[in-house]
Amino acid sequence: MSRIRSAGAAALASMSLLVLPALAQHRPHKSKPQAISEPWMNRQLSPDQRAELVLKQLTLDEKIALVHGNGMPGWGPQRPNAYLGNGGAGFVLGVARLGIPMIQMSDAAYGVRSSAANGRYSTALPSNLGSAASWDPQAACAYGALIGRELRAQGYNMTLGGGVNLTREPRDGRTFEYMGEDPVLAGTMVGNRIRCEQAQHVIGDIKHYAINDQESGRNEVNAIISRRAMRETDLLAFQIGISIGHPGAVMCSYNAVNGDFACQNKYLLTDVLKRDWKFPGFVVSDWGGTHSTIRASNAGLDNEEPLDDYYGARLKRDVLAGKVPMAQLNDHVRRILRSEFASGIVDHPTQKSVVDVFGDLAIARHIEENSIVLLKNQGAILPLNASSLRSIAVIGEHADTGMISGGGSAQVDPPGATSPPWLSHVWFPTSPLKAIREQAPRATVQFNSGSDPAAAAALAAKSQVAIVFAHQWSSEGMDLKSLELPGNQDTLIEQVAKANPNTIVVVESATAVTMPWVNKVKGIVEVWFAGSDGHHAMANVLFGKVNPSAKLPITFPLSVADLPHPHIVQPPPHAQGAAPVMKKGTDKPTFNVHYNEGLLVGYKWYDAKHKPVLFPFGYGLSYTTYAYSNLSADPQVRSVSFTVKNTGARAGVEIAEVYASLPATANEPPKRLVGWSRVSLAPGQSKTVTVAIKPLYLSVYNSATDQWKEVPGTYTLRVGGSSASLPLTASFNLQ
């Protein structure tokens, strides 16, 4: 979900946060639902059958009420029925006489947002990009299940998380909400998150559909991209995520694609999503992303949020006038009802309860431990030996009190605080200094904020080890100007490293960062936005209680000059500013972004252009080492088998990656990820691993025939520990 609120709207939101709890006792959805003994309440029927039975009972006004929202705190004047909302992003009225509940929506990108409105606590998980670094579908499942449980505990039954836009532009302000640059990795991770989220009886969502790859001018930008490139990159991530997670909803994005806004783009919503992929759920607009009534309805938009500018009185008028066929309105409604039944929100009404704070903290910590990427470990400086350390310098802004989190509609309220203002830097009370002191009780651990690099260097010079905490904040509604660490952090690290050769840098970032000091420090650890217990996860990795296993889901370039677009395309002057949504009736984008790199997203760009990088996609170190051997490929069943051996002295988990190079006639990037396996190994242990490869992952999309096809010729499979370290190769022919 996406939106920017003005200062006045934010003030209104703050007032709403005070008013809504007082009205909670009047909310009908809190009372015990009336028993309905009607045919559609028969759980033996399919969701489609149940939806069809309800549809036949609805009046026109009830149908219209199901296809739009009723506002949200801070979004324009409050409606008279605003008290029915749960304090979240918005709500859709139900049909009480038929037992159909309201849909109560919450932003839940990496945790339930605006929990303070309900007097509740929410766990902040590691950022989505961080969780993707685990390459662990089971961790993605645990991630989604936790959010699903906490949504229900707060009275919500629909999530607006599930971001999977590929990192085509790493400076995109929402990169931390997404799952990286590869469609197979991103789609697999988000699909497993959604699958387990919905198992908790909430409606899942996948977004922002599609090609929503920059925030600059997002309401007016037109993404120009070939259909083949679109289908093999961003849309492939959605296709995989939907096939695994079966979300109840797809959120269309603000931007236009090839001339048509995404929320009225027939190719995206009907031709691809509903016809090709046979998606049975409903399409919900991003907040304020609807631009028309008839055109949007014809294109396949099912639900307008957060209000009814186009899908309220206008839609009713056009239905009565025959401009929007009743069958088309029925399809919108049927899809919404089907998702309500399929997700279980009809059969399992929410009941507010207390979140399992300590249990969920443990889950968040475990996910973060598996998401931390060890980028450099010169001289085996890590893990730190607490028994031999006598002095440690902890340096960096807020490293004594907290760790940074991502802003915008994804922002989770920190414990004990009200919802923070939009675009504010929020530091969770997760003190790295405290966690390090707990791990090294015999050492003198001193802190310096780094505001004066010379003073920080002086502290580092008299310490055995210096640990510098660097951060890069990011948010929806903005793009980063560069990938450099903001402020004087690069200078700080350089001076600390000069003063102490045993310098370790812990990076808390939204996306990739450049590191001009990379050769001057001994250790680098990427912890992303680490969540509600990130300080303990970080310390467990630094001191060796956890052996890092994560690998990068995005490439870290040497410089922004190496990106496909060295400069982010900016909107024209008239489009700049704080206006959150398009003016009503505006039906055409005003400026273009040409994604001429096409298929070459992320590592595929650097491979094809022979550009060196700082750290490649799929890269990550461990406190042990691994060796690969005995690769064999079976083209009949599309699989590869190989042996992985732990050649070190510690138990660990290796993420073994499989890439394919297609026949030259396919005109594809040099290689693509087609599978992987997380292999747990004791010291000296070997395992034979088999990775099945889906035919889709070896196929090319033909836009002329609108088909995926494996190209005849020689396929080369490559296996190893990162996209740049693939020691095993095997080839086979497909006819």
Of 685, 547, 673, nearest to 184 (Cα)? 673
pLDDT of residue 334: 98
**Range in 32-46, 85-99, 312-326, 712-726 the model is least confident about:** 32-46
| pLDDT tens, residue by residue, 434-449 | 999 999 999 999 999 9
Give the chain's end-to-end CA distance (angstroms, integer): 45
**Range in 213-227, 528-542, 552-566, 578-592 the model is least confident about:** 578-592
pLDDT band at residue 701 under the 50/70/90 scheme: very high
pLDDT band at residue 424 under the 50/70/90 scheme: confident
pLDDT band at residue 309 under the 50/70/90 scheme: very high
pLDDT of residue 587: 74
> Is the per-residue pLDDT at 272 higher than 60?
yes
CA separation, residue 394 to residues 184, 484, 486, 504, 697 (Å): 38, 21, 19, 10, 45
In angstroms, the CA 299 to CA 290 distance is 12
In angstroms, the CA 654 to CA 687 distance is 11
Mean pLDDT of 404-418: 88
Rounded percentage of the chain residues whose pLDDT exceeds 90: 87
Backbone torsions φ then ψ of 188, nearest 5 degrees: -65, -45
Among 3.90.226.10, 3.40.50.300, 3.60.70.12, 3.20.20.300, what is the CATH number of 7-117+141-343? 3.20.20.300
Identify each DSSP E strand in 93-164 by its residue range. Answer: 103-106, 158-159
One-letter identity of residue 290: T
In angstroms, the CA 182 to CA 188 distance is 10
- The pTM of this model reads 0.94
Q: Is residue 391 within 8 Å of 464, Cβ to Cβ?
A: yes
Mean pLDDT of 1-12: 37
> Is the per-residue pLDDT at 574 higher than 80?
no
Better-predicted residue by pLDDT, 576 or 350: 350
In angstroms, the CA 134 to CA 527 distance is 11
pLDDT band at residue 1 under the 50/70/90 scheme: low
> Is the per-residue pLDDT at 181 higher than 90?
yes
Residue 609, Cβ neighbours under 10 Å: how many?
11
In the β-sheet with 391-395, what is the strand arrangement from edge to edge? 373-377, 523-526, 503-509, 465-472, 391-395, 444-448
pLDDT of residue 588: 82
pLDDT band at residue 571 under the 50/70/90 scheme: confident
Name the 3-class secondary structure at 207.
strand
In the β-sheet with 728-734, what is the strand arrangement from edge to edge? 672-681, 652-661, 713-720, 728-734
**Range in 112-121, 527-536, 611-620, 669-678 the model is least confident about:** 112-121
Better-predicted residue by pLDDT, 36 or 309: 309
Better-predicted residue by pLDDT, 637 or 36: 637
pLDDT band at residue 730 under the 50/70/90 scheme: very high
Mean pLDDT of 197-205: 98
> Is the per-residue pLDDT at 164 higher than 70?
yes
Question: H/E element holding 504?
Answer: strand 503-509
Mean pLDDT of 172-176: 97
pLDDT of residue 572: 75
Of 373, 722, 377, nearest to 526 (Cα)? 373
Contacts of 18 (CB under 8 A, 6+ apart): none
Backbone torsions φ then ψ of 172, nearest 5 degrees: -55, 130
Residue 502: DSSP 8-state: S
Of 530, 714, 531, nearest to 633 (Cα)? 714
In angstroms, the CA 627 to CA 643 distance is 8
Residue 407: DSSP 8-state: B
Q: Is residue 448 within 8 Å of 492, Cβ to Cβ?
A: no
Mean pLDDT of 351-375: 96
User: What residue spans of 427-579 are helical by DSSP H?
Assistant: 432-439, 453-461, 489-499, 534-542
- Fold for 357-557, please state it: Rossmann fold (3.40.50)
In angstroms, the CA 353 to CA 304 distance is 30
Mean pLDDT of 39-55: 97
> Is the per-residue pLDDT at 228 higher than 80?
yes
CATH superfamily of 624-734: Immunoglobulins (2.60.40.10)
Residue 436, Cβ neighbours under 10 Å: how many?
25
| pLDDT tens, residue by residue, 53-111 | 999 999 999 999 999 999 998 888 888 999 999 999 999 999 999 999 999 999 999 99
| pLDDT tens, residue by residue, 274-305 | 999 999 999 999 999 999 999 999 999 999 99
pLDDT of residue 155: 94
pLDDT of residue 586: 59
> Is the per-residue pLDDT at 453 higher than 80?
yes
| Three-state helix/strand/coil letters over 158-201 | EECCCECCCCCCCCECCHHHCCCCCHHHHHHHHHHHHHHHHCCC
Q: Where are the domains of the chain?
A: 7-117+141-343, 357-557, 624-734
> Is the per-residue pLDDT at 582 higher than 60?
no
CA separation, residue 227 to residues 104, 268, 271, 705 (Å): 35, 10, 12, 12
Q: Is residue 143 within 8 Å of 234, Cβ to Cβ?
A: no
Q: Name the residues annotated as catalytic.
A: 286
Of 257, 123, 182, 79, nearest to 600 (Cα)? 182
pLDDT of residue 15: 26
Mean pLDDT of 186-206: 98
pLDDT of residue 32: 47
In angstroms, the CA 513 to CA 523 distance is 15
The dihedral formed by the CA atoms of 335, 338, 339 and 341, expressed in degrees to the nearest 10? 160
Q: Is residue 403 within 8 Å of 508, Cβ to Cβ?
A: yes
